[in-house]
Amino acid sequence: MSDKKVGYYRGIAFTTDNIRFLMKHQSIFSLLILSLSALLFSFINDNGAWTSRFLNVNKNGSITYHPDEKGNTIPDFSAVGYHHGLKEIPELAVVKTLNPVNGDAGNMIQKAIDELSALPADANGHRGAILLTKGTYAIAGTLNIEAGGIVLRGAGTGTEGTRLIASGKGLRSLLKIRGKGKITEIPGTRVQITDKYVPTGAKSFKISNTKGLKSGDKIILFRPGTDNWIHDLKMDQIEAREGTKQWTGADYNLSYEREIVKIQGNTVFIDNPVVMAMDQQYGSGNIFKYEYKGRIQEVGIENMLFESEYASDTDEDHGWIAVDFDHIENGWVTGVTSRFFGYACVSLDGGAKNITVKDSKCLDAKSVITGGKRYSFNNNGQQNLFMDLETTEGRHDYVTGAKTCGPNVFYNCKSRNTHADIGPHHRWASGTLYDNIDTDGEINVQDRGNWGSGHGWAGVTQVIWNCKVKSAAIQNPWVSGKNYAIGLQGKKLAGRLKDKPDGEWEGQGQKGLQPVSLFQAQLRARELKK
């Protein structure tokens, strides 16, 4: 009886007699199966796609996070930006229209801002938009927006657009948007977190008493600074030089703004994750309700070009920041370009929360190329989103400062001719995602030692996802968390100081990371939960 063919695999014909033989000789059969499995695996992965060991996206779009031995995971960064990304940036109706004038236009624009500020806001907190028609507007001083619900809108950034010029001399912000006040604890509301350890990535924890708390309450997740934590972090042992300040626990109390979404028994659920573990050996933590009297909301800057006059490439007596935010919640900057400023296109100070900055450029800064200059898109606030941005001739192009509390996100941003590194600049920023950053310079997360006045550990829970760089140093601090370099294209650096713990590196130089964008995947996963 002749062999009967039953199938092919990669050109190999399998017959009934072949199969009888292989079943008789099981060890040979097992080896062949293993070989065929390996071949099949390589075939499936011919496109080079791979996933991280820290998480995977399921078929339905949800995400499974893989915890470490302490339960820490990469956090969910999706609830950042204007209204946590739950609302679209609104299109406010134009209520005032201004045209270019000869000479200084600052008084005219400020008068329009003040008049609009005096009008009542609608139910959404909006007052309306001031439209600056195409042309050039010289501003000798600073424009100030100190009331919510106001949009300053131009006609675009091109030759037929709206051009605001920081004219003459004077180191200053061209446009300041700021309320006033600060985080103020409501007396009698502070309660202790009772879990011995609340891991990074957690959105719930147990507290000693839930009396007086409810869904919708705004709370501070308070992580105290303690001297034993500073000692274990070795930040009381910075190699000293002139001006070096050792860290002390009292200077490192961290206040994370959160909202309660649910309470079950003594367990509180919050809207944004823990981005630095709450550890009982370092004082555990508390929550308390808070107020921020004077903070404004719903201010937007749209579609205009900001330029600064300057005397030379190293001049520093001219426009410094184009758009400067503080004491504001739920605002936006869209479609703006700055040129020739010494510091930043957009700078968000510590009181700026839930701001979206997108589709904007910071070009051709003019200053001495040294410390404290050219922080193109600067963030010291919380839950802010920077996306689809470009820079040239910057230093720290996408950057956070001291004790910046996350989550915060820089997504899909490009830098060219950069003169320093991207990343947390100094003194313990926590919870930042750098997602699809493309730079011809460096991204670094490291112990900066005695640079500045003692920068020390720059940050923790800094996630560098699918970024393209010239080189990068990503290190883990001695205690209290990890930093991640996942799918990074570029050279790995040892960092400024020797013998520091290596960060969590995965897939260096390996293309095909899935998901391509962690931020976008987390947004999609959040949509599934609605």
Residue range 21-69, pLDDT digits in tens: 434 444 443 433 333 333 333 333 457 999 999 999 999 999 999 999 9
Predicted confidence band at 284 (pLDDT cuts at 50, 70, 90)? confident
Question: For strand 286-291 and strand 191-192, is the pairing parallel, antiparallel, or unpaired?
Answer: antiparallel
Asked if residue 121 has pLDDT above 50, the reply is yes
Rounded Cα distance, 379 and 376, in Å: 10
CB-based contact 358:388 (threshold 8 Å): yes
pLDDT above 70 coverage of the chain, percent:
91
pLDDT digit string (tens) for 71-89? 999 999 999 999 999 999 9
Beta carbons within 10 angstroms of residue 367's beta carbon: 22
User: Helices 26-44 & 16-24, crossing angle to 10 degrees?
Assistant: 120
At residue 21, the pLDDT reads: 42
Predicted confidence band at 498 (pLDDT cuts at 50, 70, 90)? confident
Asked if residue 20 has pLDDT above 70, the reply is no
pLDDT digit string (tens) for 291-305? 999 999 999 999 999
Structure tokens at 365: 């800064």
CB-based contact 274:202 (threshold 8 Å): yes
At residue 46, the pLDDT reads: 53
Phi, psi of 389 (to 5 degrees): -120, 160
Name the residue among 349, 429, 431, 355 with its Cα closest to residue 386: 355
At residue 19, the pLDDT reads: 39
Tell me the mean pLDDT in the region 496-525.
96
Residue 129 CB partners (closer than 8 Å, separation 6+): 92, 93, 94, 95, 96, 150, 151, 152, 153, 302
The residue ranges of every structural domain in the chain are 5-40, 184-291, 397-530
Write b or e for each residue in 327-344: b if 16 or more Cβ atoms lie within 10 A of its Cβ, otherwise e: bbbbbbbbbbbbbbbbbb
How far is C-alpha 122 from the chain's CA centre?
31
Phi, psi of 26 (to 5 degrees): -60, -35
CA distances, 150 to each of 118, 233, 480 (Å) = 11, 44, 41
Beta carbons within 10 angstroms of residue 277's beta carbon: 24
Q: Which residues pair with 305 in a beta bridge?
A: 163, 337
Name the residue among 229, 316, 351, 216 with its Cα closest to residue 279: 229
Rounded Cα distance, 466 and 485, in Å: 8
Mean pLDDT across the chain: 92
Q: CA dihedral defined by 475, 478, 480, 486, rounded to 10 degrees?
A: 20
Would you say how long the chain is, in residues?
A: 530
pLDDT above 90 coverage of the chain, percent:
88
Rounded Cα distance, 405 and 258, in Å: 11
Rounded Cα distance, 95 and 393, in Å: 37
Longest distance between any two alpha carbons in the chain, whole Å: 103
At residue 529, the pLDDT reads: 85
Predicted confidence band at 261 (pLDDT cuts at 50, 70, 90)? very high
Phi, psi of 116 (to 5 degrees): -70, -35
pLDDT digit string (tens) for 394-417? 999 999 999 999 999 999 999 999
pLDDT digit string (tens) for 122-181? 999 999 999 999 999 999 999 999 999 999 999 999 989 999 999 999 999 999 999 999
At residue 24, the pLDDT reads: 45
Name the residue among 187, 194, 181 with its Cα closest to residue 329: 181
Tell me the mean pLDDT in the region 345-361.
98
Helix (H, G, I), strand (E, B) or coil at 111: helix
Question: For strand 300-308 and strand 150-153, is the pairing parallel, antiparallel, or unpaired?
Answer: parallel
pLDDT digit string (tens) for 437-447? 999 999 999 99
Beta carbons within 10 angstroms of residue 54's beta carbon: 19
Tell me the mean pLDDT in the region 365-374.
95
Predicted confidence band at 466 (pLDDT cuts at 50, 70, 90)? very high
Higher pLDDT, 18 or 272: 272
At residue 18, the pLDDT reads: 47
Q: Which residues pair with 129 in a beta bridge?
A: 94, 151
Amino acid at 495: G
Rounded Cα distance, 466 and 38, in Å: 27
CB-based contact 330:79 (threshold 8 Å): no
For residue 303, the number of C-alpha atoms closer than 13 Å in the C-beta half-sphere is: 15
For residue 141, the number of C-alpha atoms closer than 13 Å in the C-beta half-sphere is: 9
At residue 10, the pLDDT reads: 34
